[in-house]
Amino acid sequence: MAEYVIIGNGTAAVGCIEGIRSIDSDGAITVISGEEHHVYSRPLISYLLEGKTDLERMKYRPADFYEKNKVNVVYGKAAKIDTKKQEAILEGKGKFGYTKICICTGSSPFVPPFEGLDKVKKKFSFMTLDDALALEKVLTDKSRVLIVGAGLIGLKCAEGIAERVGSITVCDLADRVLSSILDAECAAYMQKELEDHGVSFMLGDTAVKFDKNKAYMKSGAEVEFDILVLAVGVRAETEIAKQAGCDTNRGIIINTKMETTAANIYAAGDCSEGYDSSISANRVLAILPNAYMQGRCAGINMAGGSSEITDAIPMNSIGFFGLHCATAGAYPEDGEIYEERTDKGIKRLYFKDSKLAGYMLIGDVNRAGIYTSLVREKTVLDNEETEKVKKMPSLAIFSDEKRRTKLGGVV
């Protein structure tokens, strides 16, 4: 009988379990969970602090998920993989033999070596449920919060606690918010929305030194705070894979079947570096849908089925205080950029080589998925179709025949 071991208990692990079980209903599955929690949705921790979800509802799968899928969950830290004996070795909790193993270790916060950081008492990362619960304990309606990092994590944290603290300042070395997904104009629009809800920014500036409750900024400014949140960035957890002999770069290198370069070892999710079709190269695509799909793909292959992902692209849907933003694909500057601005938002479409290469929508994100599908499928557009794409995302973009198949058939 096959023995599957999954290191990690997040989204990719769930995908892997469901992938395995779609092929093999009997093989033994062991999940090694570093966190002492039933699988939960990590991106929901800001909504937890905001009061929009709770510990029960934020479970990513129902309470009987492991039981129904006959999964043995071991809570502990995986120390290493012995590739010769095909065993996963846990710190102080024994070892588990495997026929196939999947590394779903995710990522962890990157904390630069700030001078004086050790003297800051109330400092937090914002990645895990435990991080959020620890932060929640110290929040008061007078707290002055300094968030270092104006990316997705830092800003979702700001939104989550905005109603519960005295003030929030976000700083980032980048000159704009959400620099990984938005261009300058879209970022400025989003920033204004956050400012309208009381969040202050110090952009192009960052903390270089701390002294208890004071941050000394690169610009020379000083910021006093009660609570410090470090959201500078994340790094893929590749250590176990490295020790096991898998090739790694920024993440664990995987092919389109989620196989690492080591035999019988797969990887999926934020720890991995898989094929990104928008740049035709490998890249860490640390987004939840990707983690699930990669996990599922790995699971199917581990169980002897056949699955491949060749069309992964970066994409994000994120909102702050009710203002939504959807982005996908790549943003080539040397193609045609189509833009519409209204008082309710921005639409930017990036065309290149007769295709929609990527887009940013702020405000109206209705039917954005039609744009995403054009990007993902690299649909070639003639002039007439391009004009339809600019107008709005609709199924009218497709030929009559294609549309009739979509709406008249089982897809």
Partner 1 sequence: MKRVFVNEDWCLGCHLCEYNCAYANSGLSDMVKALKGKDIFPRIHIEETDGITYAVSCRHCKDPLCVKSCIAGAISIEDGTVKIDKTKCVGCLTCVLVCPYGAVAAGPEGAAQKCELCLANSCGSPACVKGCPNNAIVYEER
* Contact residues for partner 1, defined by CB under 8 A: 14-15, 41, 43-44, 47, 52-53, 57-61, 288-289, 292-293, 296, 315-319, 322, 324, 326, 328, 365-370, 372-373, 388, 393-396, 400, 403-404, 406-411
**Smallest gap from residue 388 Cβ to partner 1 (A):** 7
What minimum distance in Å lies between the beta carbon of 242 and partner 1?
A: 29
Nearer to partner 1 by Cβ, of 56 and 141: the residue is: 56
What is the nearest approach in angstroms of partner 1 to the Cβ of residue 39? 8
Closer residue to partner 1 in complex, CB, 218/324: 324
Q: Which is nearer to partner 1, 40 or 201 (CB)?
A: 40
Nearest approach, Cβ of 141 to partner 1 (angstroms)? 24
Q: Phi then psi for 388, rounded to 5 degrees?
A: -65, -40
Cβ at position 167, least distance to partner 1 in Å? 25
Half-sphere exposure of 252 (CA within 13 A, CB side): 30
Distance of CA 54 to the CA centre of its chain: 20
Q: Cβ closer to partner 1: 249 or 399?
A: 399
- Alpha-carbon distance of 7 to 228, in angstroms, equals 31
The distance of closest approach from Cβ of residue 148 to partner 1 in the complex, given in angstroms and rounded to an integer, is: 24
Sheet strands (E) in 265-331: 265-267, 272-276, 281-283, 315-320, 323-329
Least separation in angstroms between residue 214's CB and partner 1 is 35
Contacts from 38-44 at CB under 8 Å and sequence distance 24+?
38/63, 38/65, 38/66, 39/9, 39/10, 39/11, 39/13, 39/14, 39/65, 40/129, 41/11, 41/288, 42/10, 42/11, 42/127, 42/128, 42/129, 42/288, 43/156, 43/288
* Contact yes or no for 266/252 (Cβ under 8 A): no
Q: Which is nearer to partner 1, 265 or 365 (CB)?
A: 365
In 315-408, where does DSSP find H-type helix?
A: 368-376, 383-391, 400-408
Shortest CB 409 distance to partner 1, Å: 7
Alpha-carbon gap, residue 77 to 88, rounded angstroms? 10
Question: Nearest distance from residue 394's CB to partner 1, in Å?
Answer: 5
Place of tokens 């557009």: 381
- Closer residue to partner 1 in complex, CB, 281/410: 410
- In angstroms, rounded to a whole number, what is the distance separating the alpha carbons of residues 375 and 92? 47
Q: 30 — alpha (psi -120 to 50), left (phi > 0) or beta?
A: beta
The rounded distance, in Å, linking the Cα atoms of 272 and 104 is 8
Q: Considering beta carbons, is residue 247 or 364 the nearer one to partner 1?
A: 364
The distance from CA 151 to its chain's CA centroid, rounded to whole angstroms, is 11
**In the complex with partner 1, which residue's Cβ is closer, 114 or 292?**
292
Is residue 73 a contact partner of residue 66, using CB atoms and an 8 Å limit? yes
Q: How far is the CB of 386 from partner 1 (least distance, A)?
A: 14
The helix/strand count (H/E) of the chain reads as 11, 26
Residue with token string 């008249």 = 408
Of the candidates 361, 274, 281, the one whose C-alpha atom is nearest the C-alpha of residue 324 is: 361
For partner 1, the closer CB: 26 or 56: 56
Q: With respect to partner 1, which residue has the nearer C-beta, 98 or 398?
A: 398
Q: Of the candidates 228, 34, 266, 234, which has an alpha carbon nearest to the alpha carbon of residue 135?
A: 228
